[in-house]
């Protein structure tokens, strides 16, 4: 563990890092190779994560969770991301997004029906906000929810929804008052996969791991009872936006984990690979790639860890999560690109982890709000005359 990590993180978070890393190296890394081989998340991944308490980490113990604080959860995401992005996403499916919104805004009945099952991975869940005409501008969603005698009727379409093809429960944001929209006109709904009028109409595989898929969802007068509403009518935008700080810091930590692993692989390869009778590590060009990567990773740790600890203390952090998200995701892209160069032809071959990391980290500059959107939010805060910036999402 590097000295900067030890300097920034308190003892209990260092213990979390060490504990999760032991699990990752001993049990999850072999599963990572199987995930890449079959292009799916096998049952053993869920059972292993569940056995070690890596699912539902932020949920209360009464719902089968570990009651971890936000800092411990995010540091766990960093360590999981050193092996495979899928493991961090599994933790998020069961602890963030829908699970966190359900914990914060759900009724006792909704908690009893769904929360334990989502938290322990018995059922998978998904968070549906993005639409064809509403990506970064989340307030522009068109999916409509109309009140009926029996409850609610949803009509519309969502796309680029992570894990929705496997989800048995989807949290859907829909417009209930077109005039108000983000100012009290969007509501949140819990939609089971067997709800009449709900269908997964397309599944896309991305440039990253084939196990990570995005789905298109269609709602054709989808019938829902009143108890499907999560939180008060009109609070959907609030429900969605309150998950974004955690999501952006999660990306920052995940990018640190991925870049740290890639840097380690780069160093090992440079020390063992011989060219013209000397190790690659003796070449100045390679040394500079490693040095630049180490410096950028250290700077990212300083930014993300400082923001993380401030956030965990309940202090205001302004646009710092956006800074973390942009800086860390772009840093991870540069580090993995250098790693491909150091590995040469081997870095281009499917089956080598460095090649998969190169594809996977590209997601981070778009998901949870693109780099461009984050820069808008940062600039608005610094240029603001007291007006709160309009929140956006990916």
User: What is the rounded CA–CA span in Å between residue 214 and residue 366?
Assistant: 13
- Strands (DSSP E) contained in the chain are 125-128, 144-147, 151-162, 169-175, 186-192, 198-205, 213-225, 229-230, 274-275, 278-279
Nearest to residue 223, comparing CAs of 144, 153, 175, 171?
A: 153
Instruction: Provide Rg for the chain, Cα atoms.
Output: 21
- Residues assigned a catalytic role: 368
What is the DSSP code (8-state) at residue 9?
Answer: S
- Residue position matching structure tokens 């081997």: 346
User: At how many degrees (to 10) do helices 353-360 and 320-343 cross?
Assistant: 150
Beta bridge partners of 170: 126, 191
* Helix, strand, or coil (residue 125): strand
User: What is the rounded CA–CA span in Å between residue 52 and residue 68?
Assistant: 13
């Amino acid at each position: 563990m590097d000295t900067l990590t030890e300097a920034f993180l308190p003892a209990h978070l260092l213990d979390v890092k060490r504990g999760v890393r032991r699990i990752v190296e001993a049990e999850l890394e072999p599963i990572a190779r199987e995930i890449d081989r079959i292009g799916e998340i096998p049952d053993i991944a869920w059972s292993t994560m569940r056995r070690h308490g890596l699912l539902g980490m932020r949920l209360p113990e009464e719902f089968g969770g570990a009651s971890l604080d936000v800092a411990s959860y995010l540091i766990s995401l960093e360590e999981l991301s050193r092996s495979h992005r899928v493991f961090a996403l599994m933790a998020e499916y069961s602890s963030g997004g829908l699970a966190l919104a359900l914990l914060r805004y759900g009724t006792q009945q909704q908690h009893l029906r769904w929360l334990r099952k989502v938290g322990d991975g018995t059922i998978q869940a998904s968070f549906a906000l993005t639409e064809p005409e509403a990506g970064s501008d989340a307030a522009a969603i068109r999916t409509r929810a109309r009140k009926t005698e029996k409850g609610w009727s949803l009509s519309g379409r969502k796309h680029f929804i992570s894990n929705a093809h496997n989800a048995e429960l989807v949290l859907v944001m829909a417009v209930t008052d077109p005039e108000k929209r983000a100012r009290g006109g969007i509501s949140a709904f819990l939609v089971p996969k067997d709800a009449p009028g709900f269908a997964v109409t397309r599944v896309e595989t991305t440039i990253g791991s084939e196990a990570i898929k995005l789905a298109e969802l269609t709602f054709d007068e989808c019938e829902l009872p009143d108890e499907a509403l999560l939180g008060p009518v009109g609070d959907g935008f609030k429900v969605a936006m309150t998950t974004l700080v955690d999501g952006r810091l999660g990306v920052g930590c995940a990018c640190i984990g991925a870049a740290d692993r890639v840097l380690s692989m780069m160093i090992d390869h440079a020390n063992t690979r011989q060219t013209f009778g000397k190790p690659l590590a003796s070449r100045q060009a390679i040394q500079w790639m490693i040095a630049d990567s180490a410096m950028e990773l250290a700077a990212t740790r300083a930014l993300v860890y400082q923001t993380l600890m401030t956030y965990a203390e309940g202090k205001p952090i302004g646009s710092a999560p956006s800074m973390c998200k942009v800086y860390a995701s772009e840093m991870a892209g540069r580090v993995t690109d250098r790693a491909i160069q150091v590995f040469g032809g081997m870095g281009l071959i499917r089956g080598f982890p460095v090649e998969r990391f190169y594809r996977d980290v590209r997601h981070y500059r778009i998901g949870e709000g693109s780099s461009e959107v984050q820069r808008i939010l940062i600039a608005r805060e610094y240029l603001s005359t007291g007006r709160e910036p309009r929140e956006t999402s990916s």
